[in-house]
Amino acid sequence: MKEMRVDALTNDMVIFAEDRTKRPIDKVNTNDEEEIVSEYEKDCPFCKGNEKYIPEETFKIEDENGWVCKSIYNKFPIIDQDSENIKGVHEVIIETSKHNKTFYNMNVSEFENLFTVYKNRYESLSNYKDTEYISIFKNFLRKAGASLQHPHSQIVSLPIIPPEVNNEIEIAKNYYDTNNRSLYEDIIKEEISYGKRVIHNSENFLVIVPYATKYNGEVRIIFKQNIKLNQLKIDSINEISNIFVKLFENLYNERGYMPFNLFIHTHPVKGGTEKYYNTHIHIVPRRYSFGGFELSMGVYVASTNPEQLAQRLKF
């Protein structure tokens, strides 16, 4: 049976056609990359011991043996301070000093370090005079756009509010102006009460498979608090780090060593969007790609049943 749904955060239209997974093409084995075993690679610019390859860090977390997580300027930035009409800063966050770590095997304290660096860099890049928006994202494996294997995320400060975020903010603002309630708070309440799409519900975060998403198999984490990323308290960093360990363990059991993109939709630096827009994280598997129908129509086709996927990932 086919069904059309609309993603309430983005207004994306999605047609559910679950039987399309039975198409012969989907049986073709798509080779994923091999998992990395070695903790150190002599040619990797991000490995501990190879610091000669990279510029000095903008921020780092250390333990008794030196740095464990740090942020550096990207050697090949999307934009920089010399750009003509789009000035910004592009940093790379080296998530751990160990080459063979991934979101699928990182522990709670490693995620805590990473979120602490996200928070610090969001705060610091907010203070640049041109910054309007801060983009935080991660590409995992070549198929998701990663050029280096060593575990890393990226952060870019922008002098604009990008269209995808602007669209979400407009939708949330219209909802607030019309209903005098927050769209995000309503979604949080409805999803918890319906329950079937909830992967995990903790004090400050809700992890769901969205009712509809243009990204087949997406998992979404919504912050319950009306706060900017730099206002994350240490307890919440611990809470979300525990969630990441368990979520990625379950994602690995479901899909194996899957390439993915992760992006945090943060608040614009200026203006009071907190009352109607909540920070959230999109985790998008990269096993499915758009075809001509999606690209030409802006209508998306999904084959993954959100309710069933949520039940399999639940913890």
- Dist. CA 218–CA 245, nearest whole Å: 17
Contact call for residues 301 and 15 (beta carbons, < 8 A): yes
**150 makes contact with Zn ion (CB under 5 A):** yes
**156 makes contact with Zn ion (CB under 5 A):** no
> Which residues between 220 and 259 bind Zn ion (CB under 5 A)?
none
Residue from 37, 230, 12, 19 nearest 134 by CA:
230
**121 makes contact with Zn ion (CB under 5 A):** no
**143 makes contact with Zn ion (CB under 5 A):** no
C-beta of 25: minimal distance to Zn ion in Å?
29
Contacts of 96 (CB under 8 A, 6+ apart): 68, 69, 106, 110, 113, 151
Residue 265 annotated as lining a ligand binding site: no
- Provide the H-helix boundaries in the chain: 108-126, 163-179, 183-194, 234-255, 292-297, 306-313
> Which residues between 82 and 101 bind Zn ion (CB under 5 A)?
99
Say how many CA atoms lie within 13 Å of 171 toward its Cβ: 16
Cα distance from N-terminal residue to C-terminal residue, the chain: 29
| Cβ count within 10 A of residue 293 | 12
Contacts of 34 (CB under 8 A, 6+ apart): none
Which tokens belong to 262? Answer: 């992760």
Nearer to Zn ion, 18 or 51 (CB): 51
Residue 44 annotated as lining a ligand binding site: yes
**46 makes contact with Zn ion (CB under 5 A):** yes
**214 makes contact with Zn ion (CB under 5 A):** no
**44 makes contact with Zn ion (CB under 5 A):** yes
C-beta of 20: minimal distance to Zn ion in Å?
25
**47 makes contact with Zn ion (CB under 5 A):** yes
Nearer to Zn ion, 18 or 185 (CB): 185
Nearer to Zn ion, 2 or 75 (CB): 75
DSSP reduced 3-state for 183: helix
Q: Quick one: which of 228, 265, 267, 286 contacts Zn ion (CB under 5 A)?
A: 265
C-beta of 71: minimal distance to Zn ion in Å?
16
Q: Tell me which residue has its CB nearest to Zn ion.
A: 44
| Cβ count within 10 A of residue 177 | 9
C-beta of 60: minimal distance to Zn ion in Å?
16
**212 makes contact with Zn ion (CB under 5 A):** no
**197 makes contact with Zn ion (CB under 5 A):** no
**219 makes contact with Zn ion (CB under 5 A):** no
The annotation places the binding site for Zn(2+) at: 44, 47, 99, 150
Which residues contact Zn ion by CB under 5 A? 41, 44, 46-47, 99, 150, 265
